A and B are shown apart, each in its own frame.
Chain A
Amino acid sequence: MAHGHKSDEKVVYVGDSRVKKSGRIDGTPPDYTAFPGKSEAFIPNFLLKEWMVGCVVLVGFLVWVMAEAAPLGYPADPTNASFIPMPDWYFLFLYQFLKYPYVSQDYVLLGTIGVPAIMFGALLLAPFLDTGKERRFYRRPIASSLMLLSLAAVTYLTVVSWSHYQDQLEEKGIVPEHHERAEKVREALERGEERPSFLKTDATPALIEADDPAFSIVEAQCISCHAADLGGGAGPSLIGIGNRLSSEEIAEIITHGTEGGMPAFEGMISDEEITQISEWLAKQTQS
């Protein structure tokens, strides 16, 4: 496949490339006589070897993929306050970096723009910063040591971030969602049940007699804790409260509060209003 090249031809190339210093390329690239040695034709000899390497990589990759399922947690729930957010592993170094003083809070600009811009900018423009002719890394001490230092820093930050995350999980006794989910699915399938979907399908049930005047008082006083649909927030859900408590018990709770954090409304709203609300809430039964 090697095409002929007249060795008596005087051709000057740009650097060690195949681009001629002057004049246009005639279409067929010259071969590697500039680097004498055992060069080999790309097609078919070398390509065949490349494909064999590709096959080995592909088989290894497939074995990995079949052995381990891609993780999937529970459906996104914006109200979930206990979830520990974690980016994908290759962003961890940046994520960890932004936790340090002088690059966070008041100095966050330095962390998000300053340092990354300098680092990535230097990487992007490396050929224009390191302009010497020398290519061997041990003869370019500044460029090489800066790169090794950055590598060490990125590795360190990634490891610290990950071990910090593991510590947090252990401390709070949290199992990562995708493990928990996979475990639940496995258990359900072992019991012979259907595969659970984990999607919330039940919409919040409608309120009973929502046009009652008591609801306007509820709207003013209660929804900041019990949510606009009374489905619960900081305070418990009031849907179906009528199944559990009578109107007198509800009135008692509203008047004096609870140890769980419900404030006492005695004096804040009239006794009449309390009676109105508790009678209306007592009607909130669910079948």
Chain B
Amino acid sequence: MFKSIYNWIDERLDITPLWRDVADHEVPEHVNPAHHFSAFVYCFGGLTFFITVIQILSGMFLTMYYVPDVIHAYASVDYLQHQIPFGKIVRGMHHFGASLVIVMMFLHTLRVFFTGSYKAPREMNWVVGMLIFFIMLGLGFTGYLLPWDNKAYFATKVGVEIAASVPYIGDYIASFLYGGDIVGAQTLTRFFAIHVFFLPGALIAMLAAHFIMIRRQGISGPL
């Protein structure tokens, strides 16, 4: 039954090479913790992706209740955390997951660095990985404002003030992020849009590039 459905699709779209490229490959001994326990350092990339998936899913659920405007933002966060069933868990996963992504990504970066895996022919994958790192930091910065409590407000104010001290373009960066002259209603909607649409879009594109490159080149060989 499944076999015939698969064959029917494969006949028309030739998905076997695609599927093989994604799933049907071998895991070499030197990255398999079953053979060498120290190879657990090769897990951090996968765990980063796992936590990223958690972030995307929990974020999708949060937007069901979150309202990005200055009057309702705080109340909606308060409501979704304390009144909605499992709201505490969903917001907790998103809040603490943000830190966990940074930690895992940091460990993954260190693993790649200290095993020299960024060297030829994998230079481009390292650069894309660093761009993912910066996107993640951007997601952390924009997400921090959204609960609209004092911590969010003042940290964003300080952050944008630091960005505004950049010569020539600093004022443009500040007014782009503020959407005006102060942290206010425009800032919140902007940060929401950046946090929920722009950066995740960029992130997914970069992740796709990251994974296509690793599948095409394979994991780096043993040291």
Which positions in A face B, CB cutoff 8 Å? 1-3, 14-19, 25, 27-29, 31-32, 34-35, 37-43, 46-47, 49-50, 53-54, 57-58, 61-62, 64-66, 68-78, 80, 83-91, 95, 98, 108-109, 112-113, 120, 123-128, 130-137, 140, 143-144, 147, 151, 177-178, 195, 197-199
Do the beta carbons of A87 and B155 come within 8 Å of each other? yes
**15 more A-B residue pairs beyond the given contacts A27-B20, A70-B91, A127-B123, with a C-beta to C-beta distance below 8 A:** A15-B119, A15-B121, A19-B217, A38-B29, A40-B27, A40-B29, A41-B26, A46-B32, A50-B43, A90-B102, A91-B159, A135-B117, A135-B119, A177-B150, A178-B151
Docked-complex contact A42 and B220, CB < 8 angstroms: no
CA distance A127 to B21 in the complex (A): 26
Tell me the chain B residues, 153-177 only, with Cβ under 8 Å from chain A: 153-155, 157-159, 162-163, 165-167
Distance to closest chain A CB from B168 (angstroms) = 11
Q: Write out the residue numbers on chain B whose beta carbons fall within 8 Å of the beta carbon of A88.
A: 98-99, 140-141, 144, 155
Which of B114, B134, B182 interacts with A147 by CB under 8 Å?
B114
Verify B167–A113 contact, CB threshold 8 A.
Answer: yes
Q: Is the interface of B mostly helix, strand, loop or mixed?
A: helix
Check A137 against B119 for contact (C-beta < 8 Å). no
In the complex, how many angstroms separate the beta carbon of B125 from the nearest chain A beta carbon? 9
23 A-B residue pairs with CB within 8 Å: A17-B121, A18-B216, A18-B217, A28-B21, A31-B26, A34-B221, A40-B26, A40-B32, A42-B25, A54-B46, A61-B93, A69-B88, A77-B150, A83-B154, A87-B159, A90-B140, A108-B165, A109-B166, A112-B162, A120-B130, A136-B116, A143-B113, A198-B78
Once A75-B148, A147-B113 are accepted as A-B contacts, the answer to whether A54 and B50 lie under 8 Å apart by CB is yes
Q: Give 1 or 0 for each of B122-155: 1 = CB within 8 Å of chain A CB.
A: 1100110011001001001100100111111111
A179 to B98, CA, bound (A): 20
Nearest A residue to B164 by beta-carbon distance?
A112
CB distance from B16 to the nearest CB of A (A): 8
Give per-residue flags for B108-121: 1 if the beta carbon is below 8 A from chain A beta carbons, else 0.
Answer: 00100111111111
Asked if B59 is at the interface (CB within 8 A of a chain A CB), the reply is: no
A127 contacts B120, CB within 8 Å?
A: yes
Residues of chain B within 8 A (CB-CB) of A72 are: 74, 77-78, 81, 147, 149
| Separation of A80 and B153 alpha carbons in the complex (Å) | 10
In the docked arrangement, what's the CA distance between A35 and B221, Å? 7
Asked whether A61 lies within 8 Å of B28 as measured between CB atoms, the reply is no
The chain A residue with its CB closest to the CB of B151 is A73
B79 to chain A, nearest CB (A): 9
Known A-B contacts A28-B20, A54-B50, A109-B165; the reply to A90 vs B99 at CB < 8 A is yes
- The chain B residue with its CB closest to the CB of A78 is B153
B24 beta carbon closer than 8 Å to chain A: yes
Query: Contacts A42-B24, A177-B149 hold; do A62 and B89 have CB atoms under 8 A apart?
Result: yes
Bound-complex Cα distance A78 to B185 (A): 12
* Residue from A16, A50, A53, A144 whose CB has the most chain B CB atoms within 10 Å: A16
